[in-house]
C-alpha cells in the first residue's frame, strides 16, 4: 500500500514537526475527541461554488443554477450550531453578490469540479524512478482540485477559491506552494494536459455588502470596464517572474498566476525532498513554537505536557482519539467517477470530506 502525503501533511510538516507527528495519518494520527461541527463559512461557500461551476450545468440558465447552488450552501449551514445565524445570512448575501458579478468575468468553461488526484512522487536523486519508503512502499501525493477550466485561448487553468477577510498579497499568491504543487500534480495525473497556472478567485467576507459595488475606472493596459468591475495588469513585463493579471472590485477579485516549466521543475524537486524527509528513517521531530502557529494548534495541551515533563500520553488519552481510516470518497460533485457531459446532472449535491489543500 502506498504512503500518501496530502497538502495538509506538507503544510503541517513545515509549520511544526511536533504537531505534524501528533496529527498526521503518517505518524501518530491523533485528533481532538470532539464531534462539534464548527461553522466554516469557506466550506459552505465552496459547496455553493461547486454547484455553480458544475460542468454538466454550465450551459443551463444561471437563474436555474442559482437556487441549486444556494441549496448546497444551506445544506452545509444546516449543520452549524444555532448561534451562527448572522454569519449564515452574511454568507448568503455574499453568494448573491457573487452570482450577480461572476457571469461578467467567467470567460472560461468548467471542465472538472472537486476532483481527486493521486500521483507518484519522483525520487529526488533520480527523477526517472519513483520514490519509495524504507519498507519499499510507494510514496504518493494526493489532493483535490476545486475547479479546472479552459479559457478562450484553449489554455487550462486550475481555480482556487479563497474565502476570507482581506485580500491576499500578490506575492503570497505567486509563492502559493499548494497551487504550484497542484499544477505539477495535475499534469502528472492527467498526462498530456498542460496547465497554464492558477486563477485565484477571492471572495472577501469582511466586505460591506450593504453598499453598492464601487465602480472604479479601469487601470493599466488591456483594461475593460463594466459596472462594479475593473481589470488591471499587475505584473506582466518583469523578466523572471510569472505573468500575473488581476481583475475585480471591492468584494471579489480574480488573479491569474501563470506557472512555467522552471517553476514546475523546482516544485517537483521540493516535493520529492520533503516526501523523502517525511518518510525516511531517523527523522528528527521537534517543536517549533511561534504564537502565530501555536495559537491555533490543536495539540497545545500535549505539546505543553511534553515540554514540561507532564505525562503527555495521559493528556492524549484524555482528550484525543485516533483518526479513523480514510474512506473512499465521492467528490463533492462526483469528481471523475461519473459523467461530466453537457446536460448531465449530479446524482446528489451532498457534502464531501477528506484531504483539503
Ligand atoms: S503548540 Fe506550537 S510548538 Fe507545540 S505542537 Fe503546536 S504548533 Fe508545535
Tens of pLDDT, residues 5-26: 999 999 999 999 999 999 999 9
Tens of pLDDT, residues 169-196: 999 999 999 999 999 999 999 988 999 9
Q: Where are the alpha helices (DSSP H) in the chain?
A: 7-15, 17-23, 41-52, 62-77, 85-101, 170-174, 177-189, 261-279, 291-294, 300-308, 312-319
The predicted pLDDT at position 82 comes to 86
| Cα–Cα dist 294/288, whole Å | 9
Q: Using pLDDT thresholds of 50, 70 and 90, give the confidence band for residue 328.
A: low
**Overall average pLDDT of the 322-350 stretch:** 51
**Secondary structure letter of residue 57 according to DSSP:** G
Centroid of ligand 1 to alpha carbon of 316 (angstroms):
14
Residues with CB under 6 A from ligand 1: 16, 18-19, 287-289, 293-294, 297, 299-300, 303
Q: At what angle do helices 41-52 and 85-101 cross, to 10 degrees?
A: 30
Rg (C-alpha) for the chain, rounded Å, is: 21
Centroid of ligand 1 to alpha carbon of 42 (angstroms):
25
Which residues fall within 8 angstroms of residue 61, CB to CB, at 6 or more apart? none
Tens of pLDDT, residues 218-273: 333 333 333 344 444 444 444 455 678 888 888 999 999 999 999 999 999 999 99
For ligand 1, pick from 293, 296, 306, 315 the residue to mutate: most ligand atoms within 8 Å of CB.
Answer: 293
Centroid of ligand 1 to alpha carbon of 315 (angstroms):
15
Protein residue closest via CA to atom 3 of ligand 1: 289
Tens of pLDDT, residues 275-297: 999 999 889 999 999 999 999 99
| Cα–Cα dist 224/246, whole Å | 12
Assess whether pLDDT exceeds 50 at residue 107. yes
More confident residue, 344 or 44: 44
Which residues fall within 8 angstroms of residue 70, CB to CB, at 6 or more apart? 48, 92, 95
Residue with cell 499548494: 178
**Secondary structure letter of residue 37 according to DSSP:** P
CA 282 centroid distance within chain? 31
Q: Using pLDDT thresholds of 50, 70 and 90, give the confidence band for residue 108.
A: very high
Closest Cα to residue 256, out of 54, 53, 105, 62? Answer: 105
Tens of pLDDT, residues 59-101: 999 999 999 999 999 999 999 988 899 999 999 999 999 999 9
Instruction: Give the position, in ligand 1's atom list, of the atom nearest the Cα of 22.
Output: 5
Amino acid at each position: 500500500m502506498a504512503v500518501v502525503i496530502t497538502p495538509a501533511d506538507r503544510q503541517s510538516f513545515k509549520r511544526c514537526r511536533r504537531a505534524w507527528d501528533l496529527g498526521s495519518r503518517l505518524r501518530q494520527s491523533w485528533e481532538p475527541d470532539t464531534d462539534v461541527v464548527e461553522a466554516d463559512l469557506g466550506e459552505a461557500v465552496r459547496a455553493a461554488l461547486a454547484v455553480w461551476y458544475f460542468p454538466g450545468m454550465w450551459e443551463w440558465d444561471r437563474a436555474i443554477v442559482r437556487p441549486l447552488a444556494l441549496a448546497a450552501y444551506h445544506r452545509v449551514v444546516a449543520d452549524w450550531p444555532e448561534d451562527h445565524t448572522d454569519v449564515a445570512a452574511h454568507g448568503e448575501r455574499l453568494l448573491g453578490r457573487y452570482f450577480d458579478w461572476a457571469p461578467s468575468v467567467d470567460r472560461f468553461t468548467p471542465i472538472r469540479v472537486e476532483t481527486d488526484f493521486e500521483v507518484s512522487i519522483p525520487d529526488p536523486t533520480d527523477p526517472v524512478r519513483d520514490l519509495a519508503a524504507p519498507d519499499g512502499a510507494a510514496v504518493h501525493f494526493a489532493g483535490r482540485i476545486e475547479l479546472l477550466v479552459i479559457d478562450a485561448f484553449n489554455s487550462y487553468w486550475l481555480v482556487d477559491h479563497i474565502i476570507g477577510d482581506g485580500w491576499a498579497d500578490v506575492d503570497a499568491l505567486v509563492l502559493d506552494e499548494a497551487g504550484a504543487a497542484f499544477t505539477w500534480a495535475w499534469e502528472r495525473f492527467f498526462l498530456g494536459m498542460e496547465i497554464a497556472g492558477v486563477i485565484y478567485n477571492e471572495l472577501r467576507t469582511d466586505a460591506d455588502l450593504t453598499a453598492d459595488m464601487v465602480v472604479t475606472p479601469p487601470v493599466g493596459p488591456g483594461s475593460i470596464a463594466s459596472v462594479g468591475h475593473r481589470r488591471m495588469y499587475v505584473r506582466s513585463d518583469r523578466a523572471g517572474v510569472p505573468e500575473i493579471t488581476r481583475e475585480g472590485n471591492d468584494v471579489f477579485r480574480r488573479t491569474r498566476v501563470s506557472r512555467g516549466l522552471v517553476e514546475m521543475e523546482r516544485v517537483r524537486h521540493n516535493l520529492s525532498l520533503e516526501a523523502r524527509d517525511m518518510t525516511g528513517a531517523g527523522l528528527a521531530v521537534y517543536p517549533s513554537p511561534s504564537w502565530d502557529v501555536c495559537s491555533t494548534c490543536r495539540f497545545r495541551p500535549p505539546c505543553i505536557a511534553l515540554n514540561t515533563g507532564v505525562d503527555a500520553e495521559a493528556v492524549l488519552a484524555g482528550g484525543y482519539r485516533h483518526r479513523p481510516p480514510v474512506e473512499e470518497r465521492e467528490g463533492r460533485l462526483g469528481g471523475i467517477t461519473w459523467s461530466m457531459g453537457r446536460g448531465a446532472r449530479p446524482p446528489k449535491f451532498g457534502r464531501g470530506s477528506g484531504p483539503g489543500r
